[in-house]
Structure 1
Amino acid sequence: MKPPRAARPPRILYLSFYFPPSRASGVYRARATANHLVAKGWDVTVCASPLSFLHDVIGSVDEELARTVDPRIRVERPALNQFVWEKDLRKYSRFRARLPLLAHKLYQFGQRRVFPEHYWSWGRAAVARGLRLHTKQRFDVVLATGNPFASFAAAWLFNRLTGVPYVVDYRDSWTLDLFKDELAFPEGHLAFGWEKRVLRRASGAVFVNEALRKWHADRYPEAADRMLVVPNGWDADLTPPAGELGVDKEINSRPLRFGYLGTLTNSQPVEELAASWARARMHPELADAELNIHGHLGFFQTGRRELMQRLGLGLGADGAVVPLEEDGDIGIRYRGPVSKTEVASVYEQNDVLVFLAGGGRYVTSGKIFEYMAAGRPIVSVHAPGIAAKDVLDGYPLWFNADSLDVEAVANSMVEAGKAARDLTPEQRAAASDYAQAYTRDKLLEALDQRLWAIAGRERVAVDGSEPAR
């Protein structure tokens, strides 16, 4: 008698525009989600951005990060109309080259009346690609992550055409401006209609913190019972915990090193950081200390010079980043981009980690979880009441002025510097242990279980392990 055929794994279509080798901030949640799902027994297909957009428009990629994507994951790259980004007249379509004003008006009409986002053409293409794959082998569920929110609309449309249930993952907010704590669009804007339409049919909506979930639950109460919080976390495969690494015994015989790691943007209090650092260096403890900025300056190629100026930096004749004024050097050093696969070494090179964040009560920032896993003193430079406070409150090496007052932040920097010099292996291990509850795999477990239920499948054991209950 033949043994029964094993049931096929559930299939998921993951609509994630920013996916490796993209270096956008949300790419780490997307990478971890796809890797987690395939490890839990899912057959995962990702629809991501075209590589030409990452290379030619954004202008940078992280190929090392791309190599950390599980090879079992199928990655599709639907086309994107790059109308708004295309500046080379030689690459214009024949229609746009001959009738540029009409082409512009038609494009704007689509933004005002069809879908209010430049990525909508990618969303349509993702639906078309998904339908072709669906006819060959049915998808059980769709997961869409935003931004861009064309992925949400694509999930909705795919559901209307096929009946396949979908879940939307708000790693960002669509209609709420996180940095101003106000609506991102005027009431009556097309985006609100689309968001309501998407949430009405969604089988689930995921948010990165409780404040965002509650805001959306209050605005869309009919979908509140399908909302779930899945915080960001840190990637244990890329940032090993530092609990057993001990401390630098030479720290008291050298200048202190403060470090910021991440993408620097105009939404962050960069001037306050520079001013507070200058004030902190007036204290003998930090007189010769350095503040190292690791990462990209902005998400796009434009705007880099402005961010450097806000830090008090400029470009020298040889292209190197230098202080704007020699006598104004306050020890800020721009160290350049860092591959995600190298962040652990950056954390080890710095004694204090600087948590610089924009926005207010709805902002958590994925970077803070990595900071905690590093087991270093963390000094906050952000507005009071930020959502990240809910995570950091129990971290034993957190130094928070709860203000952007220059004097208050400078004092926190000095205290964090003293703590770094006095840090014991036991203190560092305790700090790192606190972060263990925030690994992405642990936090994504709730989403995985919800997706199995929505797909109407009984969760199976993978690699001989017991299925989660």
Structure 2
Amino acid sequence: MPRPRLLYLAFYFPPSRASGVFRARATANHFAAAGWDVTVLRAPDRFFDEVAGSKDPGLVAGIDPSVETVPVPMDFFAWETEVARYGWLRGNAPVLAKTLHEWRQRRSFPENYRSWGANCVTEGLRLHRERPFDLVLATGNPFASFAAAWKLERRAKVPYLVDYRDSWTLDLFANADAFPPGHPAWAWERRVMDRAAGAVFVNEALREWHAARYPGTADRMSVVPNGWDPDLLDPERIAATAADGPLSFAYVGTLTANQPVRAMIDGFRAMTAAGEHADATLDLYGHFGFFTGSPDKLRAEFGLDFAAEGDVRYRGPVAKTAIGDAYGASDVLVFLAGGSKYVTSGKIFEYMATGKPIVSVHEPGSAAEPLLRDYPLWFRPASLEPAAVARAMAEAGDAAAKHDPETAARARAHGAAYTRDRALAELERQARRTIGGRP
């Protein structure tokens, strides 16, 4: 039989370096390896260059050669800063242009990525006429991908699945509705849910929240957690050994205003000031935020001036293909996360794969806690108060300094169960069931 055809709507896809890109990259590769012809519609390069302000070209090399990737154009009205690109209407009547732009969004789809979703429909229909697709899979955010999948089903009768790697109408960090009553996003989400063949979420708390809000779709909802990528991280190569010299506590990942950064640093300095691991350093690897202009805003928000030297050292961004070097140079990993029970954070899977001591710095009740519960080198403070964080960090430092090979091996074995391929197997099975079980 011919290979089933998948149209994958993934705005963030390599060469993007956004945090959600790793789930999208692994999904495309997993479906291709499972016997699907995969076509990905992604954002245009200009968005990565000018709006996000960064790329990770090394991620492109890890995409299955059979996967077809198509950049889809979009309107840059919301991000345009070059007056020369404004066009006649915006250049001469900026207020009218803005009013018209906002009216279009309210009338069609309430998101700045509306035009990208509309163009995905146009491109998807064109490709479908050439060689029909069997299934559409859309991942959000942005959620214009969900609207595009809904429209394609209406126009071409191709069933679709939606992958909530983020939440649309739930504010994950405030644990509250993201939009006021009557906002168009509510009607759009219900519309998408009603016709979706299935919806998947990254943790059970998110599935339960959506099941309660959309009970008619609850039987089509499931959980597909994140995981770590063996092609980007080799745990055996970075296996911990007894620490020789000052300990390196490290956070690896993007820093955002939603994380308790101040609590992490104050707790670390409280530990060293008390004479426990007094010569240790706190190394920060990663980007400040997701967009150009984020670094200055976040430095002001944190009230800190991170430098390359001192007790707290900013090491800068690390390409995903070189992430093992950052983990290899670290003795204790600090799991810094915002939000509470709805936030897992994909980084925790990499952390567990290393088999190194992990200190949690987040509000109690995080969705990552059930994953960490059986991890033998997890250290959790009782609160985010500096003294509590300092005590947990000191205990993790003691474990790193002593280094019990048997415990470290058990920790790596626990983390080994959370590869992305293992997690994505359920999504691929659900896709097969949706199209009638074709191989």
2:253 equivalent to 1:262: yes
Structure 2 partner of 1:396: 376
Q: Which amino acid aligns with 1:392?
A: L
Structure 1 partner of 2:241: 248
Q: Work out whether residues 14 and 46 of structure 1, in 8 Å CA contact, stay in contact via their aligned partners in 2.
A: yes
C-alpha deviation, 1:386, in angstroms: 0.7
Matched position secondary structure for 2:408: helix
2:26 equivalent to 1:32: yes
Change (3 A) 1:246 1:66: closer
Residues 108-158 of structure 1 show CA distances to partners (whole Å, capped at 9, x for unaligned) of 112223211000100000110010000010000000000000000000000
Q: Work out whether residues 239 and 328 of structure 2, in 8 Å CA contact, stay in contact via their aligned partners in 1.
A: no
Q: Work out whether residues 241 and 403 of structure 2, in 8 Å CA contact, stay in contact via their aligned partners in 1.
A: no
C-alpha deviation, 1:88, in angstroms: 0.5
Structure 2 partner of 1:412: 392
CA distance in 2, matches of 1:351, 1:314: 24
CA distance in 1, matches of 2:201, 2:240: 36
Matches within 5 A, 1:33-432: 33-242=27-236, 246-249=239-242, 251=243, 253-309=244-300, 313-314=304-305, 321=307, 331-432=311-412
Matched position secondary structure for 2:333: strand
Q: Work out whether residues 207 and 230 of structure 1, in 8 Å CA contact, stay in contact via their aligned partners in 2.
A: yes
C-alpha deviation, 1:245, in angstroms: 5.5
Matched position secondary structure for 2:276: helix
CA distance in 2, matches of 1:403, 1:130: 49
C-alpha deviation, 1:50, in angstroms: 0.2
CA distance in 2, matches of 1:283, 1:426: 30
C-alpha deviation, 1:405, in angstroms: 1.6
CA distance in 1, matches of 2:9, 2:301: 36
C-alpha deviation, 1:422, in angstroms: 1.0
CA distance in 2, matches of 1:85, 1:451: 36
Residues 401-422 of structure 1 show CA distances to partners (whole Å, capped at 9, x for unaligned) of 1421221111000000000011
Matched position secondary structure for 1:314: coil
CA distance in 1, matches of 2:239, 2:33: 32
CA distance in 2, matches of 1:188, 1:313: 40
Q: Work out whether residues 314 and 322 of structure 1, in 8 Å CA contact, stay in contact via their aligned partners in 2.
A: no
Matched position secondary structure for 2:334: strand
CA distance in 1, matches of 2:249, 2:224: 30
C-alpha deviation, 1:322, in angstroms: 5.7
Q: Which amino acid aligns with 2:136?
A: V
C-alpha deviation, 1:310, in angstroms: 5.2
Q: Work out whether residues 11 and 41 of structure 2, in 8 Å CA contact, stay in contact via their aligned partners in 1.
A: yes
Change (3 A) 1:110 1:245: closer
Compute the RMSD of aligned alpha carbons: 1.4
C-alpha deviation, 1:434, in angstroms: 0.4
CA distance in 2, matches of 1:245, 1:344: 7
CA distance in 1, matches of 2:438, 2:82: 52
Q: Work out whether residues 41 and 120 of structure 2, in 8 Å CA contact, stay in contact via their aligned partners in 1.
A: yes
Matched position secondary structure for 2:103: helix
- Of stretches 418-427 and 7-16 in structure 1, the one that deviates more from structure 2 is 418-427
Q: Work out whether residues 239 and 354 of structure 2, in 8 Å CA contact, stay in contact via their aligned partners in 1.
A: no
Residues 184-236 of structure 1 show CA distances to partners (whole Å, capped at 9, x for unaligned) of 00111110000000000000000000000000000000000000100001111
Residues 393-445 of structure 1 show CA distances to partners (whole Å, capped at 9, x for unaligned) of 11110000142122111100000000001112222111010012211001100
Identity among equivalent positions (%) equals: 53
C-alpha deviation, 1:240, in angstroms: 1.8
Residues 264-313 of structure 1 show CA distances to partners (whole Å, capped at 9, x for unaligned) of 00010111111111101113332110100000011112131243355564
CA distance in 1, matches of 2:410, 2:47: 43
Q: Which amino acid aligns with 1:88?
A: E
Give the TM-score of the pair, scaled to structure 2.
Answer: 0.97
Residues 74-129 of structure 1 show CA distances to partners (whole Å, capped at 9, x for unaligned) of 00111110001001110112332233222111101122232110001000001100
Matched position secondary structure for 2:325: helix
Aligned residues: 439
Matched position secondary structure for 1:285: coil
Highest CA radius of gyration, 1 or 2?
A: 1
CA distance in 2, matches of 1:338, 1:437: 25
Q: Work out whether residues 246 and 424 of structure 1, in 8 Å CA contact, stay in contact via their aligned partners in 2.
A: no
CA distance in 2, matches of 1:281, 1:309: 25
Q: Work out whether residues 5 and 133 of structure 2, in 8 Å CA contact, stay in contact via their aligned partners in 1.
A: yes
- Extract unaligned runs of 5+ from structure 1: 1-6, 316-320, 324-328, 460-469
Q: Work out whether residues 53 and 292 of structure 2, in 8 Å CA contact, stay in contact via their aligned partners in 1.
A: yes
CA distance in 2, matches of 1:60, 1:362: 28
Residues 5-53 of structure 1 show CA distances to partners (whole Å, capped at 9, x for unaligned) of xx11000000000001111110000000001000000000000000011
Q: Work out whether residues 206 and 230 of structure 1, in 8 Å CA contact, stay in contact via their aligned partners in 2.
A: yes
- Extract unaligned runs of 5+ from structure 2: none
Q: Work out whether residues 211 and 387 of structure 1, in 8 Å CA contact, stay in contact via their aligned partners in 2.
A: yes
Q: Which amino acid aligns with 2:267?
A: S
